[in-house]
Structure 1
Amino acid sequence: METVVDNIAGYDYGANELATSPVTMKDLDLLKQTITIDSDDQKYLRMAGDVLEAQTESIVNMWRGVISSMPHLAYYFKNEAGKTDEQYKQKVKERFKQWIMDLCYKPYDQDWLNYQHEIGLRHMSAKKNKTDDADAPAYIPMRYVIAFAAVVNDSIKPFMAKNGHSLGVIEKMHKAWCKAVLLHVTLWTRAYCDNEW
């Protein structure tokens, strides 16, 4: 059976070639405790995934609209001449759509942990541009990776409201989503940091 990995360029989730995350499963467990992610949140994340799956194109287009409207963010898809690398942008978009589904459905196991480290590496000079042979700046500053989480969290609730769930359920899905985004982004920052992470 064909898998999503076959369909999305550069989507290497679970690949043996990926580095093992320097974050241990014990570290992850403590981080989950700190963010207070629990089985209830996991349930509401899966519900959110069921609602968001058919909307990933619209969601990512909206996020991309925010990026495009801010020259200091759009810069990271452009070459030295200021021309956008459209192929790179399209490939990243497909992985961004898949990330929404992964956030909602994937278990927090070693493969998931390794892929979060890989995503972090692909935002910094270690691997940015290499996966897609892109012509763009060598890294995205960590401050923008963290700060953009506000857009990702603030903008998602209207999409969660499109399947007729009650306001209470939508709030629980949104709360779980925000915790999960924080967990992901926190793990991505590990690639930027040395011993004091």
Structure 2
Amino acid sequence: MTIPGYTYGSSSLARSPITLDDFERMKRSVLFGDDDVAALRASERVLADQTDAILDVWYGFVGSQPHLLASFSDATTRAPLPGYLDAVRKRFGQWILDTARAEHDQKWLDYQHEIALRHHRVKKNRTDGASAAPIVPFRDLFLLVFPVTHTLRPFLARKGDAPEQVERMHQAWVKSCLLQVTLWSHPYVHPTDY
């Protein structure tokens, strides 16, 4: 299945300004190690057939918060943009799988940079030709780590894994989301401050 706007691995992507060595240091800061990679990869089996249900929860939350929905609404009329929401949802579902696959190589890092640019005014709306708000406020982007990871936990527990394995997967997801949002913060932060 082709996902419009999903360009993971494309040679057209800009190289991430964050190097693999930088990312290794970031992983150490959040105590992300090989056990977390293994737990993320184990979570793919658990989550792969639940992505639509997960997205229903996440979209329900965002849709219930006008200040969050504003990032997916027309900048002039403030009406939600269904086509834009649908396009982003398809990529968001793939993001769940990409996160679970834990392929932290240069292609992955470059795509994280692309995701960052698409949240920032640098590239917001361009992928889908949307007329939405020109930027996702960083405060909203960063704070969504909690509702995303908190509401994911019940889905991680639905396949009968032992509670300690569910906890390992959940903690790996929390760390991974913190790492990714930190990568996505790059365009929002002055280069000498990053």
TM-score (ref. length: structure 1): 0.95
Specify every segment of 5 or more residues in structure 1 that has no aligned partner in the other structure, as ranges.
none
1:36 to 28, 31, 34: 31
Give the length in aligned residue pairs.
Answer: 192
Give the deviation of 1:73 after TM superposition: 0.7
Map of 1:74 onto structure 2 = 69
How far apart in 1 are the matches of 2:77 and 2:171?
42
Q: Percent identity?
A: 39
Within a 5 Å distance, the mapping from 1:105-144 to structure 2 comes to 105-144=101-140
Q: For 1:82, what is the secondary structure of its paired residue?
A: coil
How far apart in 1 are the matches of 2:55 and 2:118?
18
Map of 1:95 onto structure 2 = 91
2:179 to 178, 183, 194: 183
- The letter for the 1-side match of 2:80 is T
Map of 1:23 onto structure 2 = 18
Within a 5 Å distance, the mapping from 1:53-68 to structure 2 comes to 53-68=48-63
TM-score (ref. length: structure 2): 0.97
How far apart in 2 are the matches of 1:111 and 1:192?
22
Q: For 2:93, what is the secondary structure of its paired residue?
A: helix
Map of 1:165 onto structure 2 = 161
Map of 2:6 onto structure 1 = 11
How far apart in 2 are the matches of 1:180 and 1:137?
27
Q: For 1:10, what is the secondary structure of its paired residue?
A: coil
How far apart in 1 are the matches of 2:168 and 2:124?
34
Specify every segment of 5 or more residues in structure 2 that has no aligned partner in the other structure, as ranges.
none
How far apart in 1 are the matches of 2:145 and 2:65?
15
Question: Which 4+ runs in 1 deviate beyond 2 A?
Answer: none
How far apart in 1 are the matches of 2:45 and 2:188?
33
Give the deviation of 1:127 after TM superposition: 0.4
